Structure 1
Amino acid sequence: HIMRQQMVLVTFNYRLGPLGFLSTEDDVIPGNFGLKDQVSVLRWIRENIQSFGGDPETVSIVGYSAGSASVHLHYLSTLSNGLFSSGIGHSGSALNPWVMTERSLEKAIRIGAVLGCPTRKTQALLDCLRKQPAEDIVRQVAVFQDFLYNPFS
């Protein structure tokens, strides 16, 4: 059993749906905030894990389904270089069709429009979205769900 081994388990949350993956395909709302949250956690682990008896040189990342795709994406990302030594992915990869969001800009504009935000300039859209309650933004996912998957994954 894995728990018979000496290890430190770190779990965390990260942004999902439009809060984590909304993108206007530019530098204003570039997207992938959920993955960047994960990189921030990996940096925190590297800097602090010794305080909990862990070794920053032997960090393994593990994910299931969408988390597994995240593991795969961290192997491919330069932002994650040197932050983990191994990864285990269960039932998902960066090659799954739901990993890449299609028509990101169109979806960002639709969410903004539904929330009454200006949509012609992305900075104005961002400024307006920042003033919206997170719950209102997340509720708009249903507008895009023709199938049982998250269009902002």
Structure 2
Amino acid sequence: HIMRQQMVLVTFNYRLGPLGFLSTEDDVIPGNFGLKDQVTVLRWIRENIQSFGGDPETVPIVGYSAGSASVHLHYLSTLSNGLFSSGIGHSGSALNPWVMTERSLEKAIRIGAVLGCPTRKTQALLDCLRKQPAEDIVRQVAVFQDFLYNPFS
């Protein structure tokens, strides 16, 4: 029975929406920051779990819905190699249509334009977005309600 086993549970947050998945489809804002946040946590766990009584060789990852898609994406990503031992995904995979963002550059430009940022050069867009309050950037998701699901999945 699982309740009779000792385990260390680690939960974490990561960036979502435009803060986690905005992309200009270039090296300036390459995207997938939310997944990179998860990799950072997995590295931290690998390096520190023994201090909490855990085993770095036995680190399962578990996710539900979008978290399940993340589990699947970590299996596919070379950045995650060796950082977890197994994965359990509930109700989602990397093959779900909402996992990959379409027209990422267009969406980044729309957010920038609404916030009054220059949009012709992605570095100028990034510099301006970095000066905006996070709340203002997140509020712009409503601009995309004509898109199915979260436009920055």
**Length-normalised TM-score, structure 2:** 0.98
Q: 1:149 Cα deviation (Å)?
A: 1.8
Identity %: 99
Distance 1:85 1:64, change over 3 A: same
Distance 1:148 1:3, change over 3 A: farther
SS of the residue 1:98 aligns to:
coil
SS of the residue 1:14 aligns to:
coil
Q: 1:76 Cα deviation (Å)?
A: 0.1
> Aligned equivalents of 2:97 and 2:3: distance in 1?
34
SS of the residue 2:24 aligns to:
coil
SS of the residue 1:68 aligns to:
helix
Distance 1:147 1:120, change over 3 A: closer
User: What's the CA shift string for 1:99-134, capped at 9, x where partnerless?
Assistant: 000000000000000000000000000000000000
Gaps of 5+ in 1: none
SS of the residue 1:92 aligns to:
coil
User: What's the CA shift string for 1:65-96, capped at 9, x where partnerless?
Assistant: 00000000000000000000100000000000
* Number of aligned residue pairs: 153
> Aligned equivalents of 1:96 and 1:3: distance in 2?
33
Partner of 1:58: 58
> Aligned equivalents of 2:50 and 2:65: distance in 1?
29
Gaps of 5+ in 2: none
SS of the residue 1:109 aligns to:
helix
Q: 1:5 Cα deviation (Å)?
A: 1.5
> Aligned equivalents of 1:62 and 1:69: distance in 2?
10
Structure 1 ranges of 4+ moved more than 6 A: none
SS of the residue 2:101 aligns to:
coil
Partner of 1:133: 133
> Aligned equivalents of 1:121 and 1:79: distance in 2?
29
Counterparts of residues 9-20 of structure 1 (less than 5 Å)? 9-20=9-20
> Aligned equivalents of 1:105 and 1:2: distance in 2?
46
SS of the residue 1:71 aligns to:
helix
Q: 1:14 Cα deviation (Å)?
A: 0.0
RMSD in angstroms over aligned alpha carbons?
0.9
User: What's the CA shift string for 1:9-67, capped at 9, x where partnerless?
Assistant: 00000000000000000000000000000000000000000000000000000000000
SS of the residue 1:61 aligns to:
strand
> Aligned equivalents of 1:67 and 1:46: distance in 2?
19
Q: 1:147 Cα deviation (Å)?
A: 5.5
